[in-house]
Amino acid sequence: MLPSVSAPRSALSEGLTGSAEGLRQWVVKKRFALVLCFTPLACASVPKVAPSTFTAPRTDAELDARLRFLEERLDAGRRHAQTWYYGWLGFNTVCLGYTTASAATDSARSRSFDIVNAAQAAVGVADLLLLRPIPGREGADPMRGPADASHEEKLARLAEGERILLAAAQRADERSSWTNHLGNLAFNLLGGGILLALHEERYAAVAALSGTAVGEVYIWSEPSRAPTDLADYLRLIGDAPPTRADSGSNWLFFANGSRIALRVNF
């Protein structure tokens, strides 16, 4: 979704530095890079999770059982979430640094390619750190507490665990959302289109095709176990498992008594 590919080193004799035309093209490239960087940020759909409305525990024993369940399941998904998160964060950070450095030394045509890839890598870092940090990468740590905690403290921990599980389930279901894959395609076609507008057809094809392919790996490699954990949790507390759908953009779960509702926003 947010790949960076190093630009080939081509020894082109056309230098743009020092000329009025060169300055104009430099300004155009900078504007294109800004558009590439900030358009996805402006259009990004930040996940929204419905407030937890699960049935309240009826006994202290049930409360303890639900806490144990959530801790076990959230801890079980921690390794995949951390591997995915830090792996892609490292990938995009390295690509950002490399293409930024390459842009300072490459020829004029290769520099355009580097600038586009650096902008895409910057969006990748922002997506992971600010827009959509993957839920569950800390396991059950945010809800963990002493066994002798008060009833109110345990209820607060339970609410936090349910919130994390809902967020992780929604994020996992978004892997199959058609809008997610369409956004990946549009994002990389935008990068290729910028290069095409600068009459760099070869680099445009490489950027669009390789970027889309890596983007699909980015999407499908996300953690996927949370929907199953959510269904098991709902069975544990006496609610029905969620109804599945083929596609959607934002999944919002509402549990109430013996029913669970699902709202999909496109």
Q: Which domain holds residue 173?
A: 20-41+57-139+146-265
Q: How confident is the model at residue 21 (pLDDT cuts 50, 70, 90)?
A: low
* Section 133-146 average pLDDT: 96
**pLDDT at 7 > cutoff 70:** no
Within a domain: 3:
no
Q: What is the pLDDT of residues 23-48, one digit of tens each?
A: 555 555 555 545 454 444 444 444 45
pLDDT, position 263:
43
Instruction: Report pTM.
Output: 0.72
Count of domains observed in the chain: 1
Q: What is the pLDDT of residues 185-206, one digit of tens each?
A: 999 999 999 999 988 888 999 9
**pLDDT at 16 > cutoff 70:** no
Q: What is the pLDDT of residues 205-254, one digit of tens each?
A: 999 999 999 999 999 999 999 999 999 999 999 865 544 444 444 444 44
Contacts of 188 (CB under 8 A, 6+ apart): 1, 3, 120, 207, 208, 211, 212, 215
**pLDDT at 258 > cutoff 80:** no
Euclidean distance between CA atoms 198 and 200, whole angstroms: 6
Q: How confident is the model at residue 103 (pLDDT cuts 50, 70, 90)?
A: confident
Within a domain: 5:
no
Q: At 14, list the tokens.
A: 């056309």
Within a domain: 49:
no
**pLDDT at 94 > cutoff 60:** yes
251 DSSP β-pair partners? 264
Q: What is the pLDDT of residues 146-162, one digit of tens each?
A: 989 999 999 999 999 99
Nearest 5°: phi and psi at 58? -85, -25
Within a domain: 155:
yes
**pLDDT at 3 > cutoff 50:** no
Within a domain: 163:
yes
Within a domain: 68:
yes
**pLDDT at 129 > cutoff 80:** yes
pLDDT, position 22:
55
Within a domain: 98:
yes
Q: Which residue has the higher pLDDT, 16 or 233?
A: 233
Q: Residue 261's closest CA among 47, 54, 74, 56?
A: 54
* Section 70-79 average pLDDT: 98
Within a domain: 202:
yes
Rounded to the nearest integer, the mean pLDDT of the chain is: 79
**pLDDT at 165 > cutoff 50:** yes
Q: Which residue has the higher pLDDT, 67 or 252?
A: 67
